[in-house]
Amino acid sequence: NNADTYLKFSLTSFTRSAALLGKAAASPVTCPPMAPTVYNAYIATLEILYGNSTESLQTYSMYGAEGFSSTINTSLTDSFTPKRLSLTSPFQAKVVRVLPKMAKNLRLLRMELLGYPEDCDWLDT
């Protein structure tokens, strides 16, 4: 839960973001002393910050079963299966930060930021 650990997207222009596509690892992770055992590690919850610059970031809140929350469940359950996280309210920003909040074993996360509508016209399918 370190605020200095995050993925940062620096965009060249204001971009409307509608979804994130994430997974934990590109290939099986092996960690000594457990090698060659596959190590299952992923981010379970995260927080999204966005804004015009790194000095003007605001926290994204998403509506869920318990109302609005800034802590977002990634739905990841293993290191290898990608999951799409559709944002309930798309936002427009030049800077987006994804902060891992809760992880299983290690903080591993690969993520794509999907724009709107051109980049993710398949979201509703």
Domains of the chain (ranges plus CATH)? Answer: 7-118 (2.60.120.260)
- Provide the whole-model pTM: 0.77
* pLDDT reading at 125 higher than 70: no
d(CA 47, CA 85): 12
Please tell me which residue, 119 or 14, carries the higher pLDDT value. 14
Q: Which two tokens stand for residue 2?
A: 């370190």
pLDDT in tens, 76-113: 888 778 888 888 888 999 999 999 898 887 777 888 88
Quote the pLDDT of residue 88: 85
Task: Report the C-alpha gap between 20 and 100 in whole angstroms.
Answer: 14
Asked if pLDDT for residue 14 goes beyond 90, the answer is no
What pLDDT is attached to residue 36?
56
The mean per-residue pLDDT over the stretch 44-68 comes to 89
Write out the DSSP string of the chain: --TT--EEEEEEEEEEEEEEEEES-SS----TTSTTS----EEEEEEEEEESSTTSEEE--EEETTEEES-EE----SSS--EEEEEEEEEEEEEEEEEEEEEESS---EEEEEESSGGGTTTT-
CA 40 to the chain's CA centroid: 18
